């Protein structure tokens, strides 16, 4: 281990630039930079060319119609996402190719071909229709990483019903709020899922949520773990019984390019999650093109995106992009350290994976566990690696490059968001020299910039706000039910034609982008977006809590750790048992991922004279930074007290 660290330190201090390896370049889809010039010369023509890789029922009349901030792509065109992911490959003779090599956490394996996937999707699409789901109806999906998850998504896409996938790690309250916001008609869930050997009672959680979800008419339950749960006659159905009754033939709906394909909720700066709406034509075009060009997809690749489909990464790069490209993927249900810390490497070895796409938080965990785990396995099939979700520390980058990639695989560090739908800043692995920690350059056709408070472009070498200055096909079209919030959140700071990402960034002298994290009250915990406000609301929801402020501090493994400052109502004592109770309360309100790592009980919180909690000061305290100017505070003394408490360890850590 010590030796490994010395080696990495040496590599880092060289500030090496990693040129695309010649062997990789020889076989790469993109070998020279002319694609950037062509796309820059006419970005609409570039995207139209990408759209031609899809099957359209009717060709578009115009490529783009931009009435800032509103944009439409492939206007007048019609297509079906599920047809593009399945039928056209089967019709072309590619039905026997494996779509997913699936592995359950307890160890079962399933191989699903494109033909099998098409049959099951068609059956389930018919089943949804039989339950009364039609074009435009919303279907909520609350499943773990089981094959029925992509089946359910594609079945919805087939009949034109937007899906809203809710991450299986979310609590029943989070599920309830998302179902109600979208007014979903049907919920698809499973009896139980496996996580680190334990059972996650998804159906029981769902039942709790459904007590307050008037829009839900039917619940479809996938049998996975065989655990007991309640069954409501007339409302509840078994997935396997429904599909048995249906024929494997369901004509795909002809959808308009701008019809919504799905809603996916993500955290913003307020307590209410935003229902990000993605459409059919533009989204499918952009995820298909970016997946193919960034991951250099060849016919014989075995591609593994080790994210959860409950997040946008899984929507775009486990389901829609890879399937539209007729790619063979690996899909794994469970935890990376179950039963042992080499689980991922054994799966990669057995399936001869050629591409692996995962998150920095996972890479930091692998690094902590040590190189002996990957070293037990033959990972020589890998030829390309990727990361997503947060900035990757150069040390973790080099570890990944050396111990997983064997020093031969380029790493694509891909920056994007739920709202952007597809990757926007990334290397193309055959042409762009890599710098550990930098997402490098905008994808062809994307115009990204770093601007100051007034919106002026910051010269190379400087930092500021990351913005996007022209539309791309996969940009979210709105926030479900709240177009004003869409305009306010993304297009108000610099005007309706400039998308504000909410991230800080700097560019170096070569124009490479270095992402600096969020500039708003959104945290990035283990690659998951959480809003400080949402966690504060959950804490205050507990009857013992008077007030709470949540900030983050950097953490070696999860990226940002959650620090909660809590003032209890009088009569309550801030001790270990209350801390444990509050953590559980947050888990129940939002999900386990949102549990504070540290809880600090204080008598008061620092406030401005107008009564606003000064989170900036608390962030300094949590990070052990010297305190800045506190003279504008109404209660300056409280900062000193809190500061002393943190210094003396008067807090509870998980």
Q: Name the residues that contact ligand WTA, by CB under 6 A.
A: 266, 311-313, 388-391, 413-418, 439, 501-503, 515, 517-518, 524, 529
Least distance CB 652 / ligand WTA (angstroms): 28
Least distance CB 501 / ligand WTA (angstroms): 6
Least distance CB 397 / ligand WTA (angstroms): 11
Beta strands in 104-217 (DSSP E): 109-113, 139-142, 163-165, 186-190, 193-195, 198-200
Least distance CB 136 / ligand WTA (angstroms): 25
Least distance CB 386 / ligand WTA (angstroms): 9
Least distance CB 33 / ligand WTA (angstroms): 21
Least distance CB 411 / ligand WTA (angstroms): 11
Least distance CB 267 / ligand WTA (angstroms): 8
* HEC assignment per residue over 409-473: CCEEEEECCCCCCCCCECCCCCCCCECCCCCECECCCCCEEEECCCCCECCCCCEEEEEECCCCC
Q: Of 387 and 542, which has the nearer Cβ to ligand WTA?
A: 387
Least distance CB 528 / ligand WTA (angstroms): 7
List the structure tokens of 557.
């493994």
Pair 293, 327: CB distance under 8 Å = no
Q: Of 281 and 389, which has the nearer Cβ to ligand WTA?
A: 389
Q: Of 471 and 606, which has the nearer Cβ to ligand WTA?
A: 471
Residue 369: is it exposed, middle or buried by C-beta count within 10 angstroms (0-12/13-18/19+)? Answer: middle
* Nearest of 610, 612, 605, 609 to residue 639 by alpha carbon: 605
Please list the residues that pair with 264 across neighbouring strands: 276
Whole-number Å distance between alpha carbons of 548 and 530: 16
Q: Of 127 and 411, which has the nearer Cβ to ligand WTA?
A: 411
Residue 485 phi, psi (nearest 5) = -65, -35
Q: Of 118 and 525, which has the nearer Cβ to ligand WTA?
A: 525
Q: Of 147 and 527, which has the nearer Cβ to ligand WTA?
A: 527
Residue 501: is it exposed, middle or buried by C-beta count within 10 angstroms (0-12/13-18/19+)? Answer: buried
Least distance CB 559 / ligand WTA (angstroms): 9
Whole-number Å distance between alpha carbons of 250 and 253: 9
Q: Of 273 and 281, which has the nearer Cβ to ligand WTA?
A: 273
Residues 478, 484, 486, CA angle at the centre, nearest 5°? Answer: 40
Q: Of 83 and 443, which has the nearer Cβ to ligand WTA?
A: 443
Residue 166: is it exposed, middle or buried by C-beta count within 10 angstroms (0-12/13-18/19+)? Answer: buried
Least distance CB 306 / ligand WTA (angstroms): 14
Beta strands in 236-327 (DSSP E): 236-238, 255-256, 260-266, 274-279, 302-305
Q: Are strands 411-414 and 384-388 parallel, antiparallel or unpaired?
A: parallel
Q: Of 148 and 534, which has the nearer Cβ to ligand WTA?
A: 534
Pair 115, 88: CB distance under 8 Å = no
Whole-number Å distance between alpha carbons of 86 and 95: 8
Whole-number Å distance between alpha carbons of 99 and 20: 29
Whole-number Å distance between alpha carbons of 480 and 265: 9
Least distance CB 55 / ligand WTA (angstroms): 27
Q: Of 142 and 513, which has the nearer Cβ to ligand WTA?
A: 513
Least distance CB 393 / ligand WTA (angstroms): 11
Whole-number Å distance between alpha carbons of 188 and 139: 8
Pair 74, 257: CB distance under 8 Å = yes
Residues 14, 20, 26, CA angle at the centre, nearest 5°? Answer: 155
Q: Of 220 and 409, which has the nearer Cβ to ligand WTA?
A: 409
List the structure tokens of 653.
């850590």
The H-assigned helical ranges of 225-342 are: 239-244, 281-294, 312-314, 321-324
Q: Of 498 and 548, which has the nearer Cβ to ligand WTA?
A: 498
The 8-class DSSP code of residue 594 comes to G
Q: Of 35 and 294, which has the nearer Cβ to ligand WTA?
A: 294
User: Helix or strand or coil: residue 24?
Assistant: helix
Q: Of 201 and 559, which has the nearer Cβ to ligand WTA?
A: 559
Least distance CB 390 / ligand WTA (angstroms): 5
List the structure tokens of 521.
């009250």
Q: Of 83 and 317, which has the nearer Cβ to ligand WTA?
A: 317
Contacts of 103 (CB under 8 A, 6+ apart): 109, 110, 330, 331, 332, 333, 347
The H-assigned helical ranges of 43-142 are: 43-51, 81-82, 88-91, 114-130
Q: Of 262 and 311, which has the nearer Cβ to ligand WTA?
A: 311
Least distance CB 123 / ligand WTA (angstroms): 32
Least distance CB 634 / ligand WTA (angstroms): 32
């Amino acid at each position: 281990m010590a030796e490994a660290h010395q080696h990495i330190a040496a590599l880092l201090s060289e500030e090496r630039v990693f040129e695309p390896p010649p062997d990789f370049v020889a076989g790469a889809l993109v070998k020279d930079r002319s694609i950037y010039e062509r796309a820059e010369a006419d970005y609409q023509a570039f995207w139209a060319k990408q759209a031609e890789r899809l099957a359209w029922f009717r060709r578009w009349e115009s490529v783009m119609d931009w009435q800032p901030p509103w944009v439409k792509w492939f206007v007048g065109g019609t297509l079906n996402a599920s047809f593009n992911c399945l039928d056209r490959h089967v019709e072309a003779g590619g039905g026997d190719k494996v779509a997913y090599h699936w592995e359950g956490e307890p160890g079962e394996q399933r191989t699903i071909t494109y033909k099998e996937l098409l049959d099951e999707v068609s059956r389930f699409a018919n089943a949804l229709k039989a339950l009364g789901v039609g074009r435009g109806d919303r279907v909520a999906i609350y499943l773990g990483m089981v094959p029925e998850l992509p089946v359910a998504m594609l079945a919805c896409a087939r009949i034109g019903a937007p899906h809203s996938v809710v991450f299986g790690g979310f609590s029943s309250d989070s599920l309830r709020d998302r179902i109600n916001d979208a007014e979903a008609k049907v919920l698809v869930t499973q009896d139980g899922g496996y996580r680190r050997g334990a059972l996650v009672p998804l159906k029981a959680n769902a039942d709790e949520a459904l007590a307050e979800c008037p829009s839900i008419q039917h619940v479809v339950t996938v049998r996975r773990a065989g655990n007991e749960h309640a069954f409501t006659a007339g409302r509840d159905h078994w997935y396997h019984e429904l599909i048995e009754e249906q024929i494997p033939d369901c004509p795909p709906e002809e959808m308009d390019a701008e019809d919504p394909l799905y809603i996916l909720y993500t955290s913003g700066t307020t307590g209410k999650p935003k229902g990000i709406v993605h459409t059919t034509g533009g989204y499918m075009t952009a995820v298909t093109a970016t997946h193919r060009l960034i991951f250099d997809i060849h016919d014989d690749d075995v591609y593994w995106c080790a994210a959860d489909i409950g997040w946008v990464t899984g929507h775009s790069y486990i389901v829609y992009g890879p399937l539209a490209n007729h790619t063979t993927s690996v899909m794994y249900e469970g935890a990376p350290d179950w039963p042992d810390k080499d689980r991922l490497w054994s799966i990669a070895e057995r399936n001869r994976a050629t591409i692996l796409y995962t998150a920095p938080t996972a890479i930091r965990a692998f690094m902590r566990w040590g190189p002996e785990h990957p070293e037990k396995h033959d990972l020589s099939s890998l030829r390309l690696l990727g990361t997503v979700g947060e900035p990757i520390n150069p040390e973790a980058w080099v570890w990944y490059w050396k111990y997983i990639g064997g020093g031969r695989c380029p790493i694509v560090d891909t920056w994007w968001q739920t709202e952007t739908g597809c990757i926007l800043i990334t290397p193309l692995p055959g042409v762009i020299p890599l710098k550990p920690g930098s997402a490098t350059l905008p994808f062809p056709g994307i115009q990204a910039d770093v601007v100051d408070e007034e919106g002026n472009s910051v010269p190379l070498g400087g930092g500021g706000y990351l913005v996007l200055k022209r539309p791309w096909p996969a940009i979210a079209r709105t926030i479900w039910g709240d177009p004003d919030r869409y305009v306010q959140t993304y297009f108000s700071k610099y005007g309706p034609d400039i998308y504000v990402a909410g991230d800080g960034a700097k560019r170096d002298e070569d124009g490479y982008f270095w992402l600096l994290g969020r500039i708003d009250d959104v945290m990035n915990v283990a690659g998951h977006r959480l809003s400080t406000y949402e966690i504060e609301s959950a804490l205050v929801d507990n009857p013992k809590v008077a007030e709470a402020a949540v900030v983050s501090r950097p953490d070696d493994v999860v990226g940002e750790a959650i620090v909660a400052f809590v003032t209890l109502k009088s009569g309550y004592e801030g001790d270990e048992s209350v801390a444990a109770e509050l953590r559980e309360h947050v888990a129940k309100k939002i999900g386990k991922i949102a549990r504070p790592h540290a809880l600090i009980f204080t008598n008061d919180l620092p406030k401005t004279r107008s009564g606003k909690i000064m989170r900036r000061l608390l962030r300094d305290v949590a990070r052990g930074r010297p305190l800045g100017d506190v003279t504008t505070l109404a209660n300056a003394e409280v900062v000193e007290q809190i500061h002393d408490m943190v210094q003396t360890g008067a807090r509870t850590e998980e």
